[in-house]
Amino acid sequence: MENSSQESHLRSENSVTHESPYPLYAMAVCGQRIAIGSFIEDYTNRVDVVSFEPESLSIKTHPSLSFDHPYPPTKLMFDPNSSSRKSSSNRHLLASSGDFLRLWDVGDSSIEPVAVLNNSKSSEFCAPLTSFDWNEIEPKRIGTCSIDTTCTIWDIEKGVVETQLIAHDKEVYDICWGEARVFASVSADGSVRIFDLRDKEHSTIIYESPQPDTPLLRLAWNKQDLRYMATILMDSNKVVILDIRSPTLPVAELERHRACVNAIAWAPQSRRHICSVGDDSQAFIWELPLPPVAGPNGIDPMSMYSAGSEINQLQWSPAQPDWLAIAFSNKMQLLKV
């Protein structure tokens, strides 16, 4: 193991580690604030907001910036408007998904619940949200995805559902905005589909996993070059790179992980770079050729980082493009790239 992965709170010039009392999964970065969600096998889970100080390379915890969360949050995300600001003193809106979509107001010294957005018709049953995405261009818009096969678009200012679509034939696992009205989603049905809210009658299948019904777990749309997106298959070591102009056939498959890939993130400052993390404890940064066509031997990562254990989460925030955040075990680690 490399030095940077050894211990929590171990500081080096290039990485910072935060150790939490519980296993971590969800993570969001906003300026210097980082929200981290627990993965506890209990109804009561926890979200902590810590702050990262690049100058001192330290992470500060704030006991007051912490709240209970029902179930492990499947995703955390700060309001894209505020996350672009670099101040940590402003109030930030934080969204979390789990049983429902919840909004939280993160202040200087406290966090207040703002809303619970629940579109369920049944009080007895609940279809959990597997993920959501906040529209950067239209920040009042949040799209959620659920195992009930739908995607729901919320107008969070009004607290109402803009639309709900039966997006897939099976559970929807991730959703990602491309434009103000265009989003994509992945599903247990093995497909990547693009939706345009202006034409709700049609979607476009960008990709279908070779073996039907192999779930696609995560989706990342390259914000620097919307022609490209990346997805990962369940139990697969591949990162599948797609060009939406040529549906169905991936333009490249990155297969150097030695275990399944758990998360992917495009570099916020480059259209060619993507990071992936997996159960092999590795974080890889890939530099894609342009166009991203793989040679006969495939593509090797340009660099790698080994963590102490399976890496579950990855965030590469535009607010901190020099720092990658990964989560493994009960640690959150910031890696300078």
The single residue listed with the structure tokens 């709240």 is: 67
CB closer to other proteins out of 158 and 245: 245
Cα angle: 241, vertex 276, 187; to 5 degrees: 55
Strand order in the sheet with 331-336: 15-19, 331-336, 323-328, 311-316
In the bound complex, what is the minimum distance in angstroms from residue 103's beta carbon to other proteins? 19
Q: What DSSP line would sit under 9-38, residue for residue?
A: T---SSEEEEE-SS-EEEEEEETTEEEEEE
3-state class of 84 per DSSP?
helix
> What tokens appear for 171 in the block?
């559970």
In the bound complex, what is the minimum distance in angstroms from residue 29's beta carbon to other proteins? 12
CB closer to other proteins out of 10 and 115: 10
Q: How far apart are CA 177 and CA 302, in angstroms?
A: 28
CB closer to other proteins out of 9 and 258: 258
In the bound complex, what is the minimum distance in angstroms from residue 330's beta carbon to other proteins? 12
Cβ contacts of 50 within 8 Å, gap of 6 or more:
18, 33, 34, 36, 59, 60, 61, 62, 65, 332
Cα angle: 278, vertex 269, 173; to 5 degrees: 40
Residues in the chain: 337
CB closer to other proteins out of 65 and 132: 132
In the bound complex, what is the minimum distance in angstroms from residue 111's beta carbon to other proteins? 21
CB closer to other proteins out of 112 and 235: 235
In the bound complex, what is the minimum distance in angstroms from residue 61's beta carbon to other proteins? 22
CB closer to other proteins out of 107 and 128: 128
CB closer to other proteins out of 212 and 291: 212
> What tokens appear for 235 in the block?
């139990």
In the bound complex, what is the minimum distance in angstroms from residue 163's beta carbon to other proteins? 5
In the bound complex, what is the minimum distance in angstroms from residue 278's beta carbon to other proteins? 8
Give the count of alpha carbons within 13 A of 42, CB side only.
9
> What tokens appear for 4 in the block?
């940077």
Q: What DSSP line would sit under 33-69, residue for residue?
A: EEEEEE--SSSEEEEEEEEEETTTTEEEEEEEEEEEE
Nearest Cα residue to 247 out of 290, 194, 195, 171: 194
CB closer to other proteins out of 42 and 112: 42
In the bound complex, what is the minimum distance in angstroms from residue 318's beta carbon to other proteins? 4
